[in-house]
Chain A
Amino acid sequence: MAALSASGVTRRGLAWVVLGAPRREFWSRFRKEKKPLVPETVEEVKEKPILVCPPLRSRTYIPPEDLQSRVESCVREIFGSSVPSSWQDVSLEDGHLKFGLLSRLADDLGHAVPNSRLHQMCRVRDVLDFYNVPIHDRSKFDELIASNLPPNLKITWGY
């Protein structure tokens, strides 16, 4: 057993001595091939588009002065020229037309009809009434503070 192991070690030692230099060159070739691959993959990852969040919007909405003309022009664009003079009574039954009009108005005015009130928008008149209502982002406390209070009423926000 000992003799066999000794011969094995010596054989291995001789083999190591004989093949040491060429083996190092053999493995170094593989190492050199691997190195240029790594930076290529890193560059490919960086080429993907970086998604940047657009700036946060506030929920305040103040109806513009020319709201009615804007809505009328959108209606004429979406529905085409076949719109009667009573454009406010045009019904929004068709999904394509309703979607087109409401998304166009939302992109235009920066304020969309919420899900809970979509089913109430049956006619263009309803849409117009919706967009005529201003929306403030203030809490009730801020509104009270901003409004005219009697002199003996004070509101303190202690948080």
Chain B
Amino acid sequence: PAQALRGRGPRNAGPTLGARLFAARSRFQGLNAVAEEAVPQAAKPEAVGSAGPQEPVLRRCELPVPAPRRPVQAWVESLRGYEQERVGLAELHPEVFSTAPRLDILHQVAIWQRNFKRISYAKTKTRAEVQGGGRKPWPQKGSGRSRHGSIRSPIWRGGGIAHGPRGPTSYYYMLPMKVRVQGLKVALTVKLAQDDLHIVDSLELPTSDPQYLTELARYRHWGDSVLLVDLAYENMPQNIVAATTGLKTFNLIPAVGLNVYSMLKHQTLVLTLQTLAFLEEKLLWHDSRYTPLYPFRLPYRDFP
């Protein structure tokens, strides 16, 4: 069982990154061929309502599922028609979509995302930096007034600030990579558990009208804000790009842009099947990896 869990590591002489991605893509071309056959049928006006019984799009988990746990499931929907809500059934890996609901990790990661980019530029002048105030205003004794050394001390009006913000301060800190990965897994789990996750075969729309997308979301009770996730920036369908650029609450991001803050900000999350495979592979690799001997930004042979 331990060997089944430990999928890969830096020492495994497995296939290279490119070969694995190609294999995953070809497997999905097999699945998407079924969905793509449906597209020209749905484009004809007479076949919109009567799609007929088609092969369901069934998706299995590629990565091994540890023995006592069983995959979680979700409907595969389609954006091509209002009524196409149950096109297939997808199996989701339990380690990603059914982990412990660690709300503390979600909080940590969301606060980190807000703060690590923050640089506050607030700066005030101290008594040394305020112009003037080098001379003792009146002699120490004899004038009857209280004793002072300079007119720019903090107790004076117009004086410097004693403990104010000092210069650009950076709030940069990094959480461990595994904590950030766990945060993503917990966020996906929470979205699925609260019925806010929808799997779609692909993000192809029949029109580029933003109103179609809003009405679809309204009909399917998705919520006010929807986060659509495609696999890569290059191959996004034109219709969905045009529809989402016009809308404020419907946002389209590539899979590498998925983050906990956006998932919590939007009410619904919509993933494609390719994105699902990508996320599962990337997030599960960290469960069974060796500690890095050199930073991951330098090339590794089997980095996913």
| Assembly CA distance A119 to B71 (angstroms) | 7
Chain A residue with Cβ nearest B58:
A95
Is A153 interfacial (CB-CB < 8 Å)? no
B-to-A contact residues, CB < 8 Å: 45, 48, 56, 58, 60, 70-75, 81-83, 85-86, 88-89, 91, 98, 192-195, 197-198, 206-207, 212, 215-216, 218-219, 221
Inter-subunit contact A51/B82 (CB<8 Å): yes
**Contacts A49-B48, A96-B56 known; A118 to B195 CB distance under 8 Å?**
no
CB distance from A26 to the nearest CB of B (A): 40
**Contacts A51-B82, A54-B82, A112-B85 known; A99 to B192 CB distance under 8 Å?**
no
| Assembly CA distance A115 to B76 (angstroms) | 10
CB distance from A102 to the nearest CB of B (A): 8
Residues from chain A with a CB closer than 8 A to the CB of B219 are: 53-54, 56-57
Inter-subunit contact B218/A115 (CB<8 Å): no
CB distance from A113 to the nearest CB of B (A): 8
Residues from chain A with a CB closer than 8 A to the CB of B72 are: 118-119
Query: What are some 9 contacts across the A-B interface (CB < 8 A)?
Result: A51-B48, A51-B207, A53-B218, A95-B60, A95-B91, A102-B89, A116-B193, A119-B70, A119-B71
| Assembly CA distance A98 to B215 (angstroms) | 29
Inter-subunit contact A103/B192 (CB<8 Å): no
Chain A residue with Cβ nearest B198:
A115
Residues from chain B with a CB closer than 8 A to the CB of A11 are: none
**Majority SS of interface residues in chain A?**
helix
CB distance from A100 to the nearest CB of B (A): 7
A residues 15-65 near B (Cβ < 8 Å) are 48-49, 51, 53-54, 56-57, 59
| Assembly CA distance A100 to B85 (angstroms) | 13
Q: A49-B48, A51-B48, A114-B195 are known contacts; what are 13 more A-B pairs with Cβ within 8 Å?
A: A51-B206, A54-B82, A54-B219, A95-B56, A98-B89, A99-B86, A100-B56, A102-B86, A116-B194, A118-B73, A118-B74, A119-B70, A119-B98
Is A14 interfacial (CB-CB < 8 Å)? no
**Contacts A51-B82, A53-B82, A59-B221 known; A118 to B75 CB distance under 8 Å?**
yes
Chain A residue with Cβ nearest B86:
A103
Inter-subunit contact A99/B221 (CB<8 Å): no
CB distance from B242 to the nearest CB of A (A): 16
From B56, B75, B98, residue with most partner A Cβ within 10 Å: B75
Residues from chain A with a CB closer than 8 A to the CB of B82 are: 51, 53-54
**Which of B70, B83, B192, B197 is in CB contact (< 8 Å) with A54?**
B83
Residues from chain A with a CB closer than 8 A to the CB of B215 are: 53
Inter-subunit contact B195/A56 (CB<8 Å): no
**Contacts A51-B206, A95-B56, A100-B56 known; A115 to B86 CB distance under 8 Å?**
no
Chain B residue with Cβ nearest A53:
B215
| Assembly CA distance A90 to B212 (angstroms) | 41
Counting from the closest, the 4 A-B pairs by CB-CB distance are A118-B73, A49-B45, A115-B74, A95-B58
From A51, A100, A115, residue with most partner B Cβ within 10 Å: A115
Is A106 interfacial (CB-CB < 8 Å)? yes
Residues from chain A with a CB closer than 8 A to the CB of B88 are: 99
**Contacts A49-B45, A95-B58 known; A106 to B73 CB distance under 8 Å?**
no
Residues from chain A with a CB closer than 8 A to the CB of B198 are: 115
**Which of A51, A53, A95, A112 is in CB contact (< 8 Å) with B86?**
A112
| Assembly CA distance A76 to B56 (angstroms) | 19
CB distance from B68 to the nearest CB of A (A): 14
Residues from chain B with a CB closer than 8 A to the CB of A96 are: 56, 58
Chain A residue with Cβ nearest B81:
A51
| Assembly CA distance A56 to B222 (angstroms) | 12
Residues from chain B with a CB closer than 8 A to the CB of A102 are: 86, 89
A residues 62-85 near B (Cβ < 8 Å) are none
Inter-subunit contact A99/B212 (CB<8 Å): no
Residues from chain A with a CB closer than 8 A to the CB of B216 are: 53
| Assembly CA distance A118 to B59 (angstroms) | 14
Inter-subunit contact B75/A115 (CB<8 Å): yes
Inter-subunit contact A116/B86 (CB<8 Å): no
Inter-subunit contact B192/A115 (CB<8 Å): yes
Residues from chain A with a CB closer than 8 A to the CB of B81 are: 51
